[in-house]
Amino acid sequence: MKFPRCMSLALVCCVFLSWLTPRRAIRAAEAPVTWSRQIAHIVYQNCATCHHPGGSGPFSLLTFRDAYRRGPQMVQATQSRYMPPWLPAPGYGDFAGARRLSDEQVALIRKWVESGMPEGDASNAPPPPHYDPTWQLGKPDLILTVERPYILATSGSDVFRNFVLPYPLAQTHYIRAMQILPTVPQVVHHANVLIDRTASFRRRHPTDWEDGVEGMELELDAGNTFDPDSHFLFWKPDTPVLEEPEGMPWRLDGGNDLILNMHLKPSGKPETISAQIGLYFTPERASKLPMLLQLEDDRDLDIPPGNRHFVVQDELKLPVDVHVFGIYPHAHYLGKELEGWAILPNGKKEWLIRIPNWDIDRQSVYRYRDPVFLPRGTVLHMHYVYDNSEDNIHNPNSPPVRVRAGNRSVDEMAHLWIQVLPVNAPKRGPDPRLLLEQAWMEHRVDKNPRDFISLYNLAAALAGLGRYTEAAADYRKVLVSHPDDARTLNSLGAALENAGDLQQAEESFTRAIAAGHDTCDAQFNLAGLELKRSKFREAEEQFRGMLRQCPGDAETRGGLGLALDGEGDSTSAKTEFERALELDPGNFTALYHLGEMAIESGPPQRAIDLLEKAAAQRPDDVDSRERLALAFAQSGRSSDALKQLREAVQLKSGDANLHALLSQVLAGTGQLQQAIDEQNQALRLQPNDADGWNNLGVLEARAGKTVAARQSFQHALQLAPDHAQARANLARLPSR
């Protein structure tokens, strides 16, 4: 049988390749595995971050001799997957900086050791990485130090210690990077940094906070504003510098505390533990505002001794589109299998993480290589399995005992933290983080109606969304069991004030002041209520009383300035606004009102500088854009004035005064028809404005539209028969 020529050629090629490929494979297999050609690359990329002089690893692997001495240990640690420390299973989330060695790399290490660990040609080895024991990004802008070192015992169980480091500056700063320098990094397994906005932890531990307080996880008071601390400030010795993504710095204000929560492991000898935190500033505020969500099921954690498969789970439906940046699963010693996934609206399952063999000593924050998009309607799921049997090598109790939820290391937790950034939100819509907070807190309250912290947070979210009556109702539910809680009374007062019930608001603020020790927030709100009622002297007294307790509060200085300005003392008011800017260069109240004063007294450029900063602080504030437009117009910068007014009109299209002002500026630039159109829009919104009809007539007369101008002046006189300008303008028109 004859084959076609093309098939015959293919057959010859196949025969040739089948002879050639095995020969090449044999030669590759016979090539020796050496330190210089293969192993150094693997070690430097995956091991040396901990295993270097001064690092957290128990020995160094930076040189051939170092590795030669530890070869058998390297085989054992990598074959068992104990090293490098990486818990997530492959294929269940694409994480940045993944340290899981490939099967080929594990096999190469074993083959190298079995072949006698040859060095090979040293000139082929990559240069070893350099590790600076000091500040990786140069000298920090601010260094905080643990003032009283802690003595870690020679042996015993792991220690979780919380050190309070007060932020010593009065000014607000934005943090782009952070580094922690422990005195003994070898005993620090990991550390979390938490921001205590109100120094609540220090107040809760007045006698021992300076010495450090024991505990694994803490509850902190975030204050009376919706201010989610939205960053994983999680540190491990192999990631010495935490640099925030572009546009996502975090903030520190005067009066804040940083709490350094350290996981310490005894080394066999006493260790003196201290640390420094280096902070690197940026002048830029955050332009992207992520949020941390938590799935948890601590309430159901009641694990009987001997139970090998105790399951807890939770879920949360997303009300907005988000990008997921990172994830942090957390359990204690009984955790066995930790899973997190998302069910998309179309029913598809998107894995977020899966850890088949949990180990608290190897926990970490995992950041995705690329953000994971989850659309609105996605349901987040958490599924944790616990093993409280003797077979669990991590079980701290022998024999096993009943274990419940708690903050001690011998208790348990079931937490899954997820960092999300809302996306695709309507530009003029509500803050999507408030919608996330509402959904999250409603879910928690549904699970446990007596969770008063979540109920308070739900009320705060509703208030932030402008749903003040609903917020007030939830605050009152909290007060049923906590009738003298000053913070809840203060927040209730704010909700009532915004709902228009000023009398009840005043009573709530007064109760808060009487109930609390730190009454600055309630006094501030009561003073603001007095300003709203034009009771400027009473407001001044409240603000001055606050300054005796909180002298470094920029908002209080700004409020005092408003009260003094209302009393007619503009000189003293200006002084207080300037003091507010010294404390916080971004204080909106001071920027806005100093800008207004500069419009009146000059120079115009000063007004522009101040009001541009005010508008940058609150891009959606119409008044600051209107005033900035006036400052631009005063300086002859008509195009800039028009830009600000058009943006203001977009923000508040139903404001007749904005359309009228835009009409005047357009007329000043000779754009008469556009000016007429804007004035007509103002009159559609406010048809009984006699001055507006007179202004329209003037514009129409300038444009040569005499008949229309006559009708506009006559309409102004119908609304206000004694309108002198309209009567004079009508008389000036040419006769018909």
pLDDT band at 11 (very low <50, low <70, confident <90, very high): very low
State the average pLDDT for the chain. 88
d(CA 421, CA 231): 11
Closest CA to 95 of 417, 293, 382, 365: 365
For residue range 410-443, list pLDDT tens digits in order.
889 999 999 999 999 998 789 999 999 999 999 9
pLDDT of residue 157: 78
Q: Which two tokens stand for residue 107?
A: 């096999």
Thinking of the domain 653-736, which architecture would CATH place it in? Alpha Horseshoe (1.25)
For residue range 667-722, list pLDDT tens digits in order.
988 999 999 999 999 999 999 999 999 999 999 999 999 999 999 999 999 999 99
pLDDT of residue 49: 80
3-state class (DSSP) for residue 282? strand
pLDDT of residue 517: 67
d(CA 700, CA 690): 15
What is the CA 618 to chain-centroid distance, rounded?
18
Domains 142-282 and 653-736 share a fold: no
Judge whether residue 596 has pLDDT over 60: yes
Specify the amino acid at residue 581.
L
Q: Which two tokens stand for residue 16?
A: 């040739």
Cα angle vertex 633, ends 632, 634, to 5°?
A: 90
CB-count burial class (<10 Å; 0-12, 13-18, 19+) for 476: middle
For residue range 243-269, list pLDDT tens digits in order.
898 899 999 988 899 999 988 888 889
pLDDT of residue 60: 86
d(CA 453, CA 449): 10
Q: Please list, residue by residue across 234-257, b when 16 or more beta carbons sit within 10 angstroms of its beta carbon and e when fewer do.
A: bbbbbebebebeeebbbebbbbbb
pLDDT, greater one: 508 or 185: 508
d(CA 282, CA 96): 25
Judge whether residue 723 has pLDDT over 70: yes
Over range 116-137, report the average pLDDT: 84
Per-residue CA distances from 549 to 100, 190, 546, 552, 561 (Å): 54, 37, 5, 9, 18
Look at the chain and count its residues. Answer: 736
Q: Which two tokens stand for residue 458?
A: 């739900």
pLDDT, greater one: 400 or 184: 400
Per-residue CA distances from 666 to 58, 90, 617, 646, 677 (Å): 74, 63, 27, 11, 10
For residue range 614-642, list pLDDT tens digits in order.
998 888 899 999 999 999 988 889 999 99
CB-count burial class (<10 Å; 0-12, 13-18, 19+) for 508: buried
pLDDT of residue 518: 67
Q: What is the DSSP string of 591-635?
A: HHHHHHHHHHHS-HHHHHHHHHHHHHH-TT-HHHHHHHHHHHHHT
Dmax (CA) of the chain = 116
Angle between the 536-549 and 554-566 helix axes, to the nearest 10 degrees?
Answer: 160
Closest CA to 546 of 530, 526, 567, 566: 526
pLDDT band at 170 (very low <50, low <70, confident <90, very high): confident
Q: Which two tokens stand for residue 507?
A: 């009573």
pLDDT of residue 212: 86
Lowest model confidence (mean pLDDT) among 252-256, 488-492, 607-611: 252-256
Region for residue 306 given its phi and psi (left: phi exceeds 0; alpha: psi -120 to 50; beta: otherwise)? left
pLDDT band at 208 (very low <50, low <70, confident <90, very high): confident
pLDDT of residue 16: 27
d(CA 76, CA 208): 44
Residue 173: its H or E element: strand 173-182
Given the structure tokens 């309607």, which residue do they identify?
Answer: 377
Strands (E), 253-321: 257-264, 271-273, 275-282, 291-296, 302-303, 310-317
Q: Which two tokens stand for residue 273?
A: 């533990």
Phi, psi (rounded to 5 degrees) for 151: -95, 110
Q: Which CATH number fits domain 292-435: 3.90.550.10, 2.60.120.230, 3.30.460.20, 2.40.37.10?
A: 2.60.120.230
Cα angle vertex 499, ends 497, 503, to 5°?
A: 45
Over range 262-278, report the average pLDDT: 89
What single DSSP character describes residue 735? P
Phi, psi (rounded to 5 degrees) for 245: -60, 160
For residue range 504-543, list pLDDT tens digits in order.
999 999 999 898 766 778 888 999 999 999 999 999 998 9
Q: What is the DSSP string of 412-456?
A: B--EEEEEEEE-S--TTS--HHHHHHHHHHHHHHHH-TT-HHHHH
Closest CA to 359 of 102, 90, 88: 88
Phi, psi (rounded to 5 degrees) for 694: -65, -45
Residue 353: its H or E element: strand 349-355
Give the bridge partners for 547, in sequence order.
none
d(CA 431, CA 425): 8
pLDDT of residue 718: 94
**Radius of gyration of the chain from Cα atoms?**
34
pLDDT, greater one: 588 or 548: 588
Thinking of the domain 142-282, which architecture would CATH place it in? Sandwich (2.60)
pLDDT of residue 407: 75
3-state class (DSSP) for residue 101? coil
pLDDT of residue 225: 63
Lowest model confidence (mean pLDDT) among 132-136, 388-392, 445-449: 132-136
Given the structure tokens 């602080």, which residue do they identify?
Answer: 617
Cα angle vertex 359, ends 354, 364, to 5°?
A: 70
Structural domain boundaries in the chain: 24-124, 142-282, 292-435, 653-736
Over range 378-395, report the average pLDDT: 96
Q: Which two tokens stand for residue 573?
A: 């008011």
Over range 210-219, report the average pLDDT: 77
pTM, two decimal places: 0.76
pLDDT of residue 494: 94
For residue range 18-32, list pLDDT tens digits in order.
333 343 343 444 578
Closest CA to 663 of 650, 651, 676: 676
Judge whether residue 379 has pLDDT over 80: yes
pLDDT of residue 410: 83
What is the CA 410 to chain-centroid distance, rounded?
31
Closest CA to 327 of 336, 314, 338: 338
pLDDT band at 155 (very low <50, low <70, confident <90, very high): confident
Over range 272-291, report the average pLDDT: 92
pLDDT of residue 204: 85
d(CA 557, CA 566): 14
pLDDT, greater one: 306 or 49: 306
Residue 675: its H or E element: helix 672-685
pLDDT of residue 28: 44
